[in-house]
Amino acid sequence: MKSLDRFDPVSLETLVAEASLLTRVDRKYVVPRAGVDAVMAALDPRTRVLEIAGARDFAYESVYFDTPDLLSFRMAAQPRRRRFKLRTRSYLDTGTSYLEIKTRGARGTTVKDRDEYDARLRDRLTDDARDDVADAFAAIGVAAERADELDATLLTRYRRATLLAADGTGRATVDTALEWVQPDGRGFALPGTVIVETKSGASPSDVDRALWRAGHRPATVSKYATGLAALHPDLPRNRWARLLRGPFDPAHRAAPATRPPIPRPAATPISEEDPSCSVAA
């Protein structure tokens, strides 16, 4: 994104140090691609952008796993107090992957476990991974044996840049080149849409305020659930109805560049900190 060129760089270590102590409030915005540059131009010039080895945006891939009856999706669509999300997240620039299990129990407590994963196996679950998921299921009241039913349901890809607000009030991720692909090859891309997620303390960040001034308001969006609902009109969709009638409508979609089977990384997987900052989860 050319609009990021005006900002000074910030290292991953500094980003983590300056942002990790925040009591985090997350807000997501679905913004037309044409409107993002205006928002970036309105930010304080002291805003910094994460830069690693000269790069300012990074290729991400997530593979989501669900049961045949889409238990994870339906728990999000309801929504229910107990829910889970399971995915591998891969950083394609380094060939590094992680398995992420996010659960929410009856008391509303969210737990996220994240472990390094073999990038060559990121479109499937190993026996050890299923054992870990079974334990996580037991903690939220889902039958442990349901872990055996899980399979890859949806792949998402995008490029992500990360901003650190000038006044230290928070940070934001800016996701472009969004695409969704199912195992059967059907999918879509949204070249005209950007998802911005802000992460701040109790007060809104500079990025939130810039978005509000430009007329953008927080939206309920999930890359997994909203994308799956867009692909299957028969699924519950009330929670994302406005987006499904707007930016996720077929009129705004293009064919995705990614096609299964999921390509294997050429590089040997190495350990590297999440370019979006590990405290972002």
Name the residue ranges covered by the structural domains of the chain: 22-258
DSSP per-residue string spanning 79-121: T-SSEEEEEEEEETTTTEEEEEEEEE-TT--EEEEEEEE-GGG
pLDDT digits (tens, 9 = 90+) for 116-132: 999 999 999 999 999 99
R_g of the chain, CA atoms, integer Å: 18
pLDDT tens across 265-279, in order?
444 333 334 544 433
Tens of pLDDT along 128-165?
A: 999 999 999 998 899 999 999 999 999 999 999 999 98
Greater confidence (110 vs 125) lies with 125
Rounded to 5°, angle at Cα 221 from 219 and 225: 160
Token couple for 210: 């810039």
| Residue 8 contacts residue 50 (beta carbons within 8 Å) | no
Let me know if domain 22-258 sits in CATH 1.10.10.10: no
CA angle 245, 251, 255 (to 5 degrees): 120
Tell me the pTM.
0.89
